[in-house]
Amino acid sequence: MIKALQLEQAAVIGDIHGRLDLLERLLDRVQGRPLVSVGDICDRGANSSSCVDLLVREEAHGVRGNHEQWLIEWCQGRGLDKMALHHRMGGRATLLSYGVDPDSPAVDQAHTAVPSYHKRWLEALPYVLDLQVAGESYWVIHAGIPGVFSFNGLLPEEVVPHLIEKHPESLLWTKTQPDMMPWVDRPVILGHVPQREPFDDGRIICVDTGAGRWSDGGLTAILLPERQFVTVFPD
């Protein structure tokens, strides 16, 4: 699922992981620009539901991350993926933020606690955003371009459509360090692989700087078309 979006300017925000405090401070720094999320809004931090609510109210765009995938499936009545409750995923915090007891025998049906407008917004998140900002083209993909496949015989512009058709889950889950990712036809903006500093080597841009993962992790946005990073850190 690829969605196209054209803007004159944007702030593309890295993995939030329930850190409403950092999200609010970052929004104060990005000058009211249209917002684009690279995914992983939820889990780990205590305020996932409030982070989703703020992005919905700000009419933010974005793509889904692997941490949204279980939440979307649960909201669709497909049951709770028990992997979400593992401490490394941090889904317990998301459930609690919606007032749901993670240990309740009825947790599979408790998705009714999620507001319908949250559900609609989450379900509409694509795997890939074909983003154009002031005439410049970018791919926004949560996990970026996986380094585990061969793209021999494909033109650079065919790689992302090929991945959507053949390996969509890899765009949410595969861990490839930014400096090891194959280059494609345009810059790729991703999260998923936390870095101590935002990364931009010309074709690969990583904006996950550890919010909700590390106690001192920051939340980063890249401002487009200027291609400038803004990061806020915990107090």
pLDDT number for residue 1: 86
CA–CA dist 138, 189 (Å, integer): 7
Domains of the chain, earliest start first = 2-232 (3.60.21.10)
Task: Estimate to the nearest angstrom the gap between the alpha carbon of 118 and the chain centroid.
Answer: 15
Intervals of the chain under pLDDT 50: none
Residues near 3 by beta carbon (within 8 Å), at least 6 away in sequence: 126, 128, 129, 130
Q: What angle do CA 232, 99, 34 make, to 5 degrees?
A: 35
Residue bearing tokens 């379900």? 123
Residue bearing tokens 């939440």? 71
User: By the 8 A CB rule, do 69 and 172 touch?
Assistant: yes
pLDDT number for residue 205: 98
**pTM of model > 0.85:** yes
